[in-house]
Amino acid sequence: MKYTSLSFTKSASLLILTTAFSSGVSAVTITPMQGQTPDQIQRDQADCTSIAQQSAGSQASSATPPAGGRARGAAAGAMAGAAKAEVKGQQHGAYDNVNEDVKQQYRQNEAKSVAAAGTVVGGAKQRQQRREASQQSSSSSQAFDQAYSSCLMGRGYSVQ
């Protein structure tokens, strides 16, 4: 990211650059148009950052990307597979006469196969959630940038 600013001293310029980096503002050039002092520039940037964060709302905060989709899908699939095996087995009259170890093995095999499918579905849902989170983050970043620039322009700065 590139941040530039016209100011009166090198220390004020460094201060503005530091403020811009720490606030997460996108690459902008801020030029004071009404003879603002370095202290005033710093206050205006801090105020505008605060206003922009409020304007962008909770979207501006970075959310933790969704995780565990595959594991949740596998767990749901395993439960569904075991239940399916039990129901399917009960449909046959000879199922009650089969050894419990064989029944258990059958339920486990069904659970494994459906858990594998659940893993795929869970992973797909997780990827979709991450894409949506990325799009929301991008739009909230744009909202922040818009509010920040508008605020500074209203206080007598040129923002490019």
Place of tokens 């949740």: 72
| Residue carrying structure tokens 């797909």 | 124
The amino acid that residue 101 corresponds to is: D
In Å, how far are 71, 78, 88, 129 from 123, measured between CA atoms? 8, 15, 28, 10
Q: pTM to 2 decimals?
A: 0.45
The single residue listed with the structure tokens 């029944």 is: 103
Question: Which band of pLDDT confidence, cut at 50, 70 and 90, is reported for residue 63?
Answer: low
pLDDT in tens, 16-47: 433 444 444 456 788 899 888 889 989 999 99
Q: What is the DSSP string of 11-80?
A: HHHHHHHHHHHHHT--S-EEEESS---HHHHHHHHHHHHHHHHHHHGGGGSPPPPP--HHHHHHHHHHHH
pLDDT digit string (tens) for 117-149? 888 888 888 888 888 888 877 778 888 888 888
For the chain, which residues make up each domain, given as ranges?
Answer: 4-62+141-159, 69-139
46 contact partners, CB below 8 Å, separation of at least 6:
19
Percent of residues, the chain, with pLDDT higher than 70: 78
Give the tokens for residue 21: 């980096």
Between 70 and 26, the higher pLDDT residue: 70
Q: What is the pLDDT of residue 123?
A: 84
**CB-based contact 83:137 (threshold 8 Å):** no
- Here the tokens at position 150 are 């508008």
Position 9 pLDDT exceeds 50: no
The one-letter amino acid code at 159 reads: V
Q: Report the run of H or E that residue 139 belongs to, with start and end.
A: helix 100-154
Dihedral of alpha carbons 11, 14, 18, 20, sign: positive
Return the SS3 of 159.
strand
